[in-house]
């Protein structure tokens, strides 16, 4: 008969399991306390004072947004209101959004609220990916606002007969099956004009979130040739 | 049924849960087929049951049937483990019908109402629009109440009867499983915060609490089916709990690479994701080791017969050990490091991994539990496979493997064309979808999906008839 | 200097296939290592096959190296992978040792 060893003692393993689980859980909770403040939405004051937030305030819709390679971080970052000398957001250059660049914090928040609710009420995530999460039946929407297809050189403004990006997007969202681009079409989801404006604000806001460089090279490569 | 061998109410209730789980399993596959057809023929049911609706039903039915089968499994093993009838069984039965009614209403609303206006009433009564947990908020609250009732039964029974190691693990695990669901019930305008908590539910379910549940069920299965020593099995179960929670809880980091969360999650996600396959390897070894050991003891006594008392169930349990390693382990590992996940995140790779992991890690062992219940209900001492069980197993396993490989090839095209070369734009996305390999991958996926579905029909036929076959030992 | 190396972090399109195959092989070879080790211990395979198990472990390590270098992983991830590789090496030994102990204690 072998003598009892601690390695074959159930209580030892039970206690180890409890300790390891407890330790991992506490670490996760601690990291959560660190992460949540970092991804809490910024304010209008932050934007005006040039404070970079991972998730900027809703009034970011008043600014021009681009997605630029950052030398220090070795990946692309959203650049709000033009680039400064360090290659980050200058928070200066504005851009009209549905004809205005002076959306107040209250108005912008309301628009974003409508858009985010709309994105859930219409089950966007069950065809598209948002921040890369969701279904894979339709294009990723993380940086959709910056997609060249909707820009002045893209085809979508001409197809929808609109002269700005936001109006083209809003028109498409309301009557998607009128503007088919591929055999696979977006269905009509009963999106109203107001909801469409909210959804476009939601998309513009999402493109300003710092996603650590996801997606890579977005809109930078035209044509299907790898840079080699 | 005339000759019902079930002596406890708890086991009877378990068979109710299993029956409804099997029905919803069928619904899951059916709506999966609709979605698969839409990839091949985009006009199919357009603006009637759109892809989004088919997919909601596909993935929510998946979660629901698994939760039903999991609750059923616990009610099944409770009397065996504790030695007493489950406490509060009347409550359990009442909650069963409440749960079934809620699920049927949710499914009908998804199917018939589909979407709502952009306000809170939609979130409360139609859909929350968050992948996997789209169920509207009233149903969330209902589910919490039902699960609390179930947990009361589990705790009351565990404390009154013999609280084995397996029961102790289940008590802790089921409480965590229910508690985590609360993290997914809120609403916020901030999509990064939204997805942060959303992953608490999804990840901490399928890569932590559900895996531990599987460990506990596998332990029960080894004891009942091959007579493995309880001491060995339970010690091993605790080690698995330590390894699974130790790697799985912080493995959540691999979902926080790109949703707006800080860059340190790259390191945390990479480290714990690299460790995540280890417990799956360990579980696999454990099953084979115990099986080899028990058979060896048997053979040493000069009895050259199998130690397995339920062939079809044991087959599914072994497939579980292997499938868990393959689907969650291999298919998870090859796109988990941030450097490569930057390109694979949100492509058909994820879908390939999802199909094989949910099947390999969960569907297999729960089907095994169905067979254990059939054995118990028909009072069979040693249950053997029938032609139907072998056909069903081969077709389902082959079908899911085929789907996974087809989706992996499609995902590879997507990574190369849509991501590495085209930078993830609208045009890049559709260029990838138009690739010949992608399109063929989708054709093969549909074909393999049909094979899986036929396999499922044979499985149901077998579950309904195997108990009456006369080649078992009674 | 930073400006010139900035884009080289991209994974080359032709490297993706090698990355996916090598990372799959990491776990497949790892599985073979553990599988053969276990099979020898429960007498399903002859004793002399044991070195083959260790060869598979070495292959696991090699594939991990290939995968990591093509992915341009940072030093931290490289360390994490080395830890995982040694964890895999020790795992079946630890399992067998403990199982053996418990079985011996339970026999009598």
For A95-117, the pLDDT digits (tens) are 999 999 999 999 999 999 999 99
Tens of pLDDT, residues B91-126: 999 999 999 999 999 999 999 999 999 999 999 999
Mind giving me the DSSP string for A48-102?
Answer: HHT---SS--GGGGGB-EEEEEETTTTEEEEEESSB-TTSSB-S--B--BTTBS-
Q: How many other CB atoms are found less than 10 A from the CB of residue A187?
A: 18
By CA distance, what is C13's nearest residue in A? A226
Nearest Cα of chain C lies from the Cα of A71 at a distance, in angstroms, of: 6
Nearest Cα of chain A lies from the Cα of C59 at a distance, in angstroms, of: 30
Question: For residue C67, how many C-alpha atoms fall within 13 Å in the half-sphere facing its CB?
Answer: 28
- The answer to whether the Cβ–Cβ distance between B47 and A188 falls below 8 Å is yes
Beta carbons within 8 Å of B335's beta carbon, 6+ residues apart: B341, B344, B345, B349, B350, B353
Domain coordinates in residue numbering, chain C: 14-106
Least confident of A42-46, A214-218, B57-61: A214-218
Per the model's pLDDT, the better-predicted residue between C6 and C40 turns out to be: C40
Structural domain contains residue B39: yes
Instruction: Determine contact: A5 vs chain C, CB below 8 A.
Output: yes
Confidence at B285, pLDDT banded by 50, 70, 90 = confident
- The answer to whether the Cβ–Cβ distance between C43 and B334 falls below 8 Å is no
Domains of chain A (ranges; CATH) run: 44-207 (1.10.760)
User: Among the residues of A86-164, which ranges form H helices?
Assistant: 105-121, 156-160
Query: What residue has token string 């609710």?
Result: A117
Per the model's pLDDT, the better-predicted residue between C85 and B406 turns out to be: B406
- The answer to whether the Cβ–Cβ distance between B229 and C103 falls below 8 Å is yes
Instruction: Determine contact: C2 vs chain A, CB below 8 A.
Output: yes
Structural domain contains residue B105: yes
Per the model's pLDDT, the better-predicted residue between C100 and B398 turns out to be: B398
- The answer to whether the Cβ–Cβ distance between B293 and C35 falls below 8 Å is no
Of B330, B232, B316, B230, nearest in space to B280 by CA: B330
3-state secondary structure of B294: helix
Cα separation values, B230 from A169, B219, B233, B241, C106, Å: 63, 8, 5, 16, 10
Per the model's pLDDT, the better-predicted residue between C75 and B304 turns out to be: C75
Check whether C66 has a pLDDT greater than 80.
Answer: yes
Mutation site, B428, B432, B434, B445, interface A, largest A CB count within 10 A: B428
User: What is the Cα–Cα distance from B134 to C43, expressed in whole angstroms?
Assistant: 50
ipTM, 2 decimals?
0.95
**Please, what is the average pLDDT of chain B?**
94
| Whether B233 contacts C103, CB under 8 Å | no
- The answer to whether the Cβ–Cβ distance between A72 and C2 falls below 8 Å is yes
Confidence at C107, pLDDT banded by 50, 70, 90 = low
Per-residue pLDDT, A223: 47
Structural domain contains residue B92: yes
Per-residue pLDDT, B422: 86
Which residues 325-354 on chain B approach chain C with CB closer than 8 angstroms?
A: 325, 329-330, 333-334, 337-340, 343
Query: By percentage, how much of chain B surpasses pLDDT 90?
Result: 83
Beta carbons within 8 Å of B289's beta carbon, 6+ residues apart: C38, C41, C42, C95, C96, C99
Instruction: Determine contact: A5 vs chain B, CB below 8 A.
Output: no
Instruction: Determine contact: A139 vs chain B, CB below 8 A.
Output: yes
Q: What is the largest CA-CA distance in chain C?
A: 71
Structural domain contains residue B100: yes
- The answer to whether the Cβ–Cβ distance between A126 and B114 falls below 8 Å is no
Check whether C108 has a pLDDT greater than 70.
Answer: no
Domain span including residue B45: 1-163
User: What is the Cα–Cα distance from C38 to C50, expressed in whole angstroms?
Assistant: 10
Least confident of A163-167, B49-53, B278-282, B431-435: B278-282
B163-170 average pLDDT score: 95
| Whether B432 contacts B422, CB under 8 Å | yes
Cα separation values, B14 from B107, B211, C104, Å: 22, 20, 37
Instruction: Determine contact: A198 vs chain B, CB below 8 A.
Output: yes
Check whether B304 has a pLDDT greater than 90.
Answer: no
**Please, what is the average pLDDT of chain C?**
82
User: Among the residues of B113-190, which ranges form H helices?
Assistant: 120-125, 137-160, 165-181
User: What is the Cα–Cα distance from B433 to B430, expressed in whole angstroms?
Assistant: 5
Q: For residue A226, which residues of chain C lie inside 8 Å, CB to CB?
A: 12-13
Check whether B171 has a pLDDT greater than 80.
Answer: yes
Per-residue pLDDT, B283: 84
C12-25 average pLDDT score: 88
Of B148, B200, B275, nearest in space to A25 by CA: B200
> Subunits touching A (CB < 8 Å, at least 3 pairs)?
B, C
Instruction: Determine contact: A32 vs chain C, CB below 8 A.
Output: no
Bridge partners (DSSP) listed for residue A100: A97
Per-residue pLDDT, B190: 97
Per-residue pLDDT, C104: 75
Mutation site, A133, A174, A221, interface B, largest B CB count within 10 A: A133
Q: For residue B263, which residues of chain A lie inside 8 Å, CB to CB?
A: 73, 212
Q: For residue C44, which residues of chain B lie inside 8 Å, CB to CB?
A: 292
User: What is the Cα–Cα distance from A6 to C97, expressed in whole angstroms?
Assistant: 12
Which of B229, B282, B340 minimises the CB distance to C71? B340
- The answer to whether the Cβ–Cβ distance between A8 and C98 falls below 8 Å is yes
Tens of pLDDT, residues B312-369: 999 999 999 999 989 988 899 889 989 999 999 999 999 999 999 999 999 999 999 9
Which of A69, A217, A227 minimises the CB distance to C6? A69
Of A162, A163, A164, nearest in space to A175 by CA: A162
Instruction: Determine contact: C43 vs chain A, CB below 8 A.
Output: no
Which of A35, A202, A226 minimises the CB distance to B262? A35
B146-172 average pLDDT score: 95
Query: What residue has token string 């990372």?
Result: C23
Check whether A226 has a pLDDT greater than 70.
Answer: no
In degrees rounded to 5, what are phi and psi of residue B383?
-95, 130
Confidence at C9, pLDDT banded by 50, 70, 90 = low
Instruction: Determine contact: A183 vs chain C, CB below 8 A.
Output: no
- The answer to whether the Cβ–Cβ distance between B42 and A212 falls below 8 Å is no
Per-residue pLDDT, A221: 63
Which of C12, C101, C104 minimises the CB distance to A228? C12
Which of A132, A220, A226 minimises the CB distance to B346? A132
Radius of gyration of chain A (CA): 23
Tens of pLDDT, residues B210-267: 999 999 999 999 999 999 989 888 988 999 999 999 999 999 999 999 999 999 999 9
In degrees rounded to 5, what are phi and psi of residue B43?
-80, -10
Tens of pLDDT, residues A63-76: 999 999 998 998 99
- The burial class, CB within 10 Å (0-12 / 13-18 / 19+), for A81 is buried
Structural domain contains residue B132: yes
Please provide the size of chain C in residues: 108
Q: For residue B340, which residues of chain C lie inside 8 Å, CB to CB?
A: 11, 19, 23, 71
Whether the model clears a pTM of 0.80, i.e. scores above it, the answer is yes
| Whether B403 contacts B448, CB under 8 Å | yes
- The answer to whether the Cβ–Cβ distance between C105 and A216 falls below 8 Å is no
Confidence at A222, pLDDT banded by 50, 70, 90 = low
Cα separation values, B180 from B66, B202, B267, B401, C80, Å: 17, 9, 24, 31, 28
Radius of gyration of chain B (CA): 22
- The answer to whether the Cβ–Cβ distance between A123 and B127 falls below 8 Å is yes
Beta carbons within 8 Å of B165's beta carbon, 6+ residues apart: A10, A14, B219, B230, B234, B237, B238
Confidence at C106, pLDDT banded by 50, 70, 90 = low
Instruction: Determine contact: C97 vs chain B, CB below 8 A.
Output: no
Confidence at A2, pLDDT banded by 50, 70, 90 = very low
Structural domain contains residue B170: no
CA B401 to chain centre: 16
- The answer to whether the Cβ–Cβ distance between B333 and C20 falls below 8 Å is no
Per-residue pLDDT, B301: 84
Query: By percentage, how much of chain A surpasses pLDDT 90?
Result: 85
By CA distance, what is B295's nearest residue in C? C42
Which of C3, C10, C98 minimises the CB distance to A71? C3
Confidence at A54, pLDDT banded by 50, 70, 90 = very high
Q: How many domains are there within chain B?
A: 1
């Amino acid at each position: 008969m072998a003598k009892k060893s601690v390695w074959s003692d159930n209580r030892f393993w039970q206690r180890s399991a409890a300790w390891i689980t407890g330790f991992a859980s506490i670490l996760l909770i601690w990291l959560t306390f660190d992460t949540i403040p970092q991804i809490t939405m910024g304010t209008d004051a932050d934007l005006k004072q040039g404070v970079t937030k991972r998730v900027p305030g809703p009034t970011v819709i008043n600014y021009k947004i681009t997605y630029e390679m950052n030398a220090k971080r070795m990946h692309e970052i959203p650049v709000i209101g033009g680039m400064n000398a360090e290659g980050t957001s200058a928070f200066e250059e504005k851009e009209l959004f549905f004809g205005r660049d002076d959306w107040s914090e209250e108005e912008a928040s309301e628009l974003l609220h409508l858009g985010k609710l709309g994105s859930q009420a219409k089950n966007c995530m069950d065809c598209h990916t948002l921040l890369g999460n969701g279904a894979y039946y339709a294009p990723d929407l993380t940086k959709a606002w910056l997609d060249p297809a909707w820009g002045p050189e893209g085809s979508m403004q001409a197809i929808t007969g609109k002269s700005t990006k936001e109006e083209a997007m809003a028109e498409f969202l309301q009557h998607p099956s009128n503007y088919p681009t591929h055999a696979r079409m977006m269905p009509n989801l009963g999106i109203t004009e107001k909801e469409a404006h909210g959804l476009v604000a939601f998309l513009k806001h999402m493109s300003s979130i710092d996603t650590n460089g996801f997606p890579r090279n977005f809109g930078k490569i035209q044509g299907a040739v790898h840079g080699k | 049924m005339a000759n019902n061998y079930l002596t406890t109410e708890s086991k009877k209730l378990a068979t109710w849960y299993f029956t409804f789980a099997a029905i919803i399993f069928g619904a899951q596959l059916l709506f999966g087929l609709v979605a698969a057809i839409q990839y091949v023929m985009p006009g199919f049911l357009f603006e009637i049951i759109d892809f989004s609706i088919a997919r909601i039903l596909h993935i929510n039915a998946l979660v629901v049937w698994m939760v039903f089968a999991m609750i059923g499994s616990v009610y099944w093993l409770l009397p065996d483990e504790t030695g007493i009838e489950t406490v509060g069984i009347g409550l359990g039965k009442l909650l069963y019908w409440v749960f079934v009614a809620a699920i049927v209403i949710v499914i009908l609303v998804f199917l018939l109402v589909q979407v709502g206006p952009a306000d809170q009433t939609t979130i409360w009564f139609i859909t929350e629009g968050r992948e996997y947990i789209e169920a509207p908020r009233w149903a969330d609250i209902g589910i919490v109440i039902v699960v609390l009732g179930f947990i009361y039964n589990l705790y009351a029974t565990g404390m009154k009867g013999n609280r084995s190691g397996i029961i102790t693990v289940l008590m802790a695990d089921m409480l965590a499983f229910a508690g985590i669901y609360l993290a997914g019930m809120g609403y916020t305008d901030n999509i990064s915060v939204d997805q942060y908590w959303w992953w608490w539910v999804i990840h901490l379910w399928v890569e932590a609490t559900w895996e531990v549940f599987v460990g506990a069920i596998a332990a029960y299965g080894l004891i009942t089916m091959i007579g493995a020593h309880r001491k060995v099995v339970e010690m091993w179960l605790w080690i698995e709990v330590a390894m699974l929670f130790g790697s799985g809880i912080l493995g959540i980091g691999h979902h926080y690479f790109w949703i707006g969360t800080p860059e340190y999650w790259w390191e945390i996600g990479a480290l714990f994701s690299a460790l995540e396959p280890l417990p799956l390897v360990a579980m696999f070894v454990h099953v084979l080791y115990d099986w080899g050991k028990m058979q060896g003891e048997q053979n040493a006594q000069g009895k050259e017969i199998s130690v397995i008392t339920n062939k079809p169930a044991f087959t599914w349990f072994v497939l579980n050990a292997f499938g868990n390693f393959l689907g969650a382990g291999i298919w998870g590992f090859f796109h988990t490091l941030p450097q490569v996940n930057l390109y694979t995140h949100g492509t058909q790779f994820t879908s390939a991994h999802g199909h094989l992991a949910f099947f390999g890690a969960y569907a297999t062992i729960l089907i095994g539990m169905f067979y254990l219940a059939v054995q118990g209900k028909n009072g069979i001492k040693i249950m053997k496979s029938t032609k139907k069980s072998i056909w069903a197993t081969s077709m389902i396993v082959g079908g899911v493997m085929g789907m996974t490989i087809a989706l992996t090839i499609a995902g590879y095209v997507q990574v190369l064309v849509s991501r590495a070369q085209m930078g993830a734009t609208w045009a890049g996305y559709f260029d990838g979808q138009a690739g010949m390999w992608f399109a063929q991958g989708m054709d093969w996926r549909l074909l393999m999906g049909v094979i899986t579905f036929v396999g499922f029909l044979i499985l149901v036929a077998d579950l309904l008839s195997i108990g009456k076959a006369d080649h078992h030992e009674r | 200097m930073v400006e010139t190396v900035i884009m080289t972090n991209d994974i080359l399109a032709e490297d993706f296939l090698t990355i996916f195959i090598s990372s799959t092989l990491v776990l497949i070879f790892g599985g073979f290592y553990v599988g053969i080790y276990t099979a020898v211990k429960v007498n399903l395979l002859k004793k002399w096959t044991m070195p083959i198990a260790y060869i598979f472990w070495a292959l696991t390590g090699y594939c991990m190296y290939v995968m990591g270098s093509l992915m341009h992983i940072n030093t931290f991830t490289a360390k994490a992978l080395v830890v995982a590789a040694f964890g895999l090496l020790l795992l079946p030994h630890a399992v067998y040792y403990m199982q053996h102990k418990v079985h011996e204690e339970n026999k009598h």
